[in-house]
Structure 1
Amino acid sequence: MGKSTNDADFVAQLRSQGTQRRDGGAGMILHTPPTGASKSLDELIDTDKSESRGSPNERRASAQHDESRAPDDSLGRLVSIDLLDTHPWNARVHRSAERVREIASQIAATRQLVPITITKNPDKPGHYFVIDGETRFRGLKLLNRREAWTLELDIDPKDPLAFYTASFKQTDATEAISPIDKGIKWGTLIEEGHATAAAIAEQLELAPSTVSRMVAYKKFPPAILDFMHSHADRFPYSVAAVLAQLVDRGMPEEAILAKCQEVVDSQHGRRAIEAIVKEAKSDTERKQRKSALVAIPIKAGATQVGSFRTYENGALEFKLSTAATLSSENYKVLSDVFEVVSGLISEGPDDLLAALEQRLAKIRGGN
């Protein structure tokens, strides 16, 4: 069924299922709109606490009774809150306590208007993972409700891409997922080897370039992501991709956070942000030159014509200002060697030395 329905039709359809209440009365237990004096959320929470008393064992026993209900699957069913578990591949990352309280207030004022979509938890018989509706789930728990209106889907919870795709499509249709949350999850799927950018794009019906640009968010540490999320309008993925260069260059977290604060305070456009990053790059490079661990000069006679350096942040640097000291043959060989090394680094072989020896042998053999 759809995610929402006319109140009168909803109540009539559920009651027409003929299921039995625990107290022996006919019809499902529904949270219909309240009457009488209005109450604050805290007052409603206190009221629901008194109505939801009972040990965990009693609630689980009641939940087993709930499992015996057999309403029309298209309408979903009521499931005990104690049988619902969150899943690490839920599509939403940032979910504020204020948003949970807002949803709890809406449920308390009317009822749960949208079902929570779930799928079976194979590791805990009788339990379910929440696919979409984790904020509603938390709101119901805040209200101490014993049951949630759910709709079950057949999704494999052990397939990260399949579960995420189902969660994304359901969750994004309810309330748009932020670009930051998308980038974090997409980057994690790729980083952990569960999917490629192309596979994610295909599942979500997006352009692969969109996925590739969005994963820039994954490079930032949690504190910076929280800051960006709280100022989401200032950090679209195009800006995040520019600022991610600071992470790539090893800038400390505190310094990057200061740059993010500068972006917010100054209301910079993208060009100005690119200038900030370029300036920061120059500062970082100057610091790197001061902290070289190894510095081997390359000389032509008494004149230094280049150098090889390694730095504390793991960077390597080879410079040759002139090739005048090399014969044309040796210049070609050196150029070929660096071309081979660059290609192998991009390919990422397990044994770099063996792969390099094999390629160099081909160069020596003229193949």
Structure 2
Amino acid sequence: MSNSHPFSDADWATLASQIKSWALELGFSQAGICDTDLRSQEPKLQQWLDAGMHGEMQYMAEHGMKRARPAELQPGTLRVISVRLDYLPAAAGFATNLSDPFQAYISRYALGRDYHKLMRQRLKQLGEKIEQHVGAYGFRPFVDSAPVLERPLAAKAGLGWTGKHSLLLNPQAGSWFFLGELLVSLPLPVDEPIQQDCGSCVACITMCPTGAIVSPYVVDARRCISYLTIELKDAIPEELRPLLGNRIYGCDDCQLVCPVNRQAPLGKEEDFQRRPQWRDQSLLSLFLWDEATFLKMTEGSAIRRIGYQRWQRNLAVALGNAPFSEEILALLMAEQQHPDALVREHLQWALAQQQQKQQQQQKENRQQQRLIRIIQLGLPRDA
């Protein structure tokens, strides 16, 4: 069969159903089909770019409206097969990591293997599986590898609705999933979008540590912790550093507070489970990794993409945000002449934060000792 063959509507509907079954067999959690018309997204995308909310992500502006025109990426494209793959690891360790400011917090999607290659390979297999049944046709897989508006496409394909944090929400799976697309030159029947929204809930907007969700459905990347710790190549703005806490790679806060995520299933993919090196890692121990250790420990991980310099930059900020510690202070004192200028500047900031906390602690200790002496002497407390 070829896509020019005069199939009946029933033939295309049968193929669409088979494609979804094949996607599940390949390990995807769900698949849906939509057309390529994203014209309704173009004004919002242009407004977001004009406001500079993409920050240093120049590729967003360079591709411009091409992001909303899948057929320009792959000529002949008629449909987009959108897939989701659940990733929430069984040992996510949310509470322990975020509540202990001496531990490093890494976004849950990055605890296992980098998803890009795995999903792209499976999408390619799906494309080839279709080819075995219809003959030669045009297809191309995408997983964050080209200017594609994957969330609006997934929403059109019935995989979920757009939450106020701009992430896609699925009524059964929440938002803990990866998305991928297979652009095809086949006139498959399309799926209906989910008619659901977030109602009056504003939990993600209220709880965002840096106020990056500036209005419902609009995220200013320049304030987003994921952008600051992953995409930003330069110095993290000083006024935002204290708000990062112990988050050294990405942030999950908007997902953590989302009520739709309460019943989200755990991911079944073994490659996405939490790797041993990300269990109970202190900020100090991670900062002491040399570059060779960093590269070894992040092999096959999305974390490697930020490089050793930004890894240390992020850890320096987290060390400054930690409660006062003699060990942290000693490390920061010893690293004042760090050879990398970007890392050194963040370490110096962290040192100032720790020294400030040390002074505050000393002041509180003196006040406490004075109170103890007053009580021991039986004097009035305002003496």
TM (norm. structure 1) is 0.31
Higher helix share: 1
Q: Whose radius of gyration is greater, 1 or 2?
A: 1
TM (norm. structure 2) is 0.30
